[in-house]
């Protein structure tokens, strides 16, 4: 997708296309539409990052709280967003055996109890074993450091989702 | 619903219950969960208002852009949120004749073209004729003033949605 095509989108089409690059936070894409014209995809990404960074700590935690658990209730009940479903599936979260499901449930619960938000990791960049490992490891962080750490993962997820939208659009056009 | 019940909710249940008090912006409820314990419903409302006020102008416009048109595409195609459907229905937006639908379409288009966000009004507090009148009237505002004006409407909608959640819960319990 050419950046001129993106810059020509109405806010309605822009939010429809990019509304879930930050999970369940269409507010963010809707906000950065104000900064058109964008120079390129990196410029869109930079505006999203800027918006997130300037939020108060509660807002950053709020972004995290809009994310589903990995291998959690939404996956079991089929209520994940399309993007999350795809990412969790690729990371092997949909084919865990019952012992692994229980392990994820326990670690997720411990994490949420400790931090007040869910464990967020860019599933596309991590395999199953790495995810479990990092979940155990990051449980040792203090809350402020872990919030920032998790927001870094949100940015990675956002970056890949942005790229994915552009690529699928080109594929549709071919 | 007793405020102690609200304060005892996990962030997951809190976001499930209050996630749409600001249309399609669960980020906001998810953020203000950080401020528990709440003193009362007014305290929850005050935290939401505070969060919105502190957003940059782009963020306020972003909130508005998460709202559907009145008597617009989402109403026609049945894709409104439950809350919006109920509010638009009560305000008579679901029973417009074809001339009225066209009038709303024209005014909404003109408004969006001028401001870059949709016309937002607390439908519960306005009848059909008032809505059309205000839409024509507010088209005369400058962009910054109208953004602030529309955010005032978002706060009214939020306030009534909050009250509605508490009331329905009490009714369920009776």
B116/A11 CB distance under 8 A: yes
Residue-wise pLDDT tens digits, A38-67: 999 999 999 999 999 999 999 999 999 999
Q: d(Cα A64, Cα A77) in Å, to the nearest integer?
A: 20
Q: Coil, strand or helix: which one is A8?
A: coil
Sequence-ordered alpha helix ranges (H) in chain B: 3-7, 11-18, 26-32, 41-54, 57-65, 73-77, 82-90, 98-115, 128-138, 143-173
So which residues of A are the catalytic ones?
Answer: 67
A59/B65 CB distance under 8 A: no
Interface residues from chain A to B (CB-CB < 8 Å) = 10-12, 15, 24-35, 51, 54-59, 61-63, 65-66, 112, 116-117
Find the CB nearest B59 among A11, A31, A112.
Answer: A31
> Measured between beta carbons, which residues in chain B are less than 8 angstroms from residue A57?
34
Q: d(Cα B146, Cα B152) in Å, to the nearest integer?
A: 10
Predicted confidence at residue B168, as pLDDT, reads 74
Residue A49 CB neighbours (<10 A) = 16
Q: B132 near B107, Cβ under 8 Å?
A: yes
A117/B31 CB distance under 8 A: no
Predicted confidence at residue A2, as pLDDT, reads 87
Q: What is the pLDDT along chain B (174 residues), one digit of tens a residue?
A: 789 999 999 999 999 999 999 999 999 999 999 999 999 999 999 999 999 999 999 999 999 999 999 999 999 999 999 999 999 999 999 999 999 999 999 999 999 999 999 999 999 999 999 999 999 999 999 999 999 999 999 999 999 999 999 877 655 655
- Closest CA of chain B from A149, distance in Å: 17
pLDDT bracket for residue A169 (50, 70, 90): low
Counting one residue from chain A and one from chain B, the pairs whose CB atoms sit within 8 A come to 97
Residue-wise pLDDT tens digits, A1-46: 789 999 999 999 999 999 999 999 999 999 999 999 999 999 999 9
Q: d(Cα A60, Cα A57) in Å, to the nearest integer?
A: 5
Q: B162 near B41, Cβ under 8 Å?
A: yes
Up-side HSE of residue A57: CA atoms within 13 Å toward CB?
11
Find the CB nearest B33 among A10, A11, A65.
Answer: A65
pTM score, two decimals?
Answer: 0.95
Up-side HSE of residue B60: CA atoms within 13 Å toward CB?
23
Q: B118 near B65, Cβ under 8 Å?
A: yes
Q: A133 φ, ψ to 5°?
A: -60, -45
Q: d(Cα A25, Cα A136) in Å, to the nearest integer?
A: 27
Q: A157 near A23, Cβ under 8 Å?
A: yes
Helix axis angle, A98-115 to A128-138, nearest 10°: 30
Angle at Cα B122 formed by Cα B166 and Cα B13, nearest 5°?
30
Q: d(Cα A83, Cα A96) in Å, to the nearest integer?
A: 19
Contacts of A127 (CB under 8 A, 6+ apart): A91, A92
Predicted confidence at residue B96, as pLDDT, reads 93
Q: Comparing A11-15, A89-93, A144-148, B113-117, which segment has the lowest mean pLDDT?
A: A89-93
Domains of chain A: 3-61+164-173 (1.10.3330.10), 68-153 (1.10.3330.10)
- Closest CA of chain B from A66, distance in Å: 6
């Amino acid at each position: 997708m050419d950046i001129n095509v993106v810059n020509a989108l109405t806010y309605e089409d822009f939010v429809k296309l990019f509304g879930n690059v930050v999970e369940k936070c269409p507010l963010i894409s809707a906000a950065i539409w104000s900064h058109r014209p964008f120079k390129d995809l990196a410029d869109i990404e930079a505006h999203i990052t800027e918006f997130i960074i300037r939020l108060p700590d509660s807002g950053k935690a709020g972004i995290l709280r809009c994310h589903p658990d990995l291998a959690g209730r939404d996956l079991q009940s089929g209520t994940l967003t399309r993007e999350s479903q795809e990412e969790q599936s690729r990371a092997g979260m949909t084919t865990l055996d019952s012992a692994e499901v229980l392990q994820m449930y326990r670690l997720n619960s411990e994490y949420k109890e400790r931090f007040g938000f869910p464990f967020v990791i860019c599933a596309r960049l991590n395999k199953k074993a790495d995810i479990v490992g990092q979940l155990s490891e990051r449980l040792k962080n203090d809350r402020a450091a872990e919030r920032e750490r998790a927001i870094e993962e949100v940015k990675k997820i956002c970056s890949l989702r942005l790229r994915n939208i552009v690529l699928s659009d080109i594929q549709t056009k071919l």
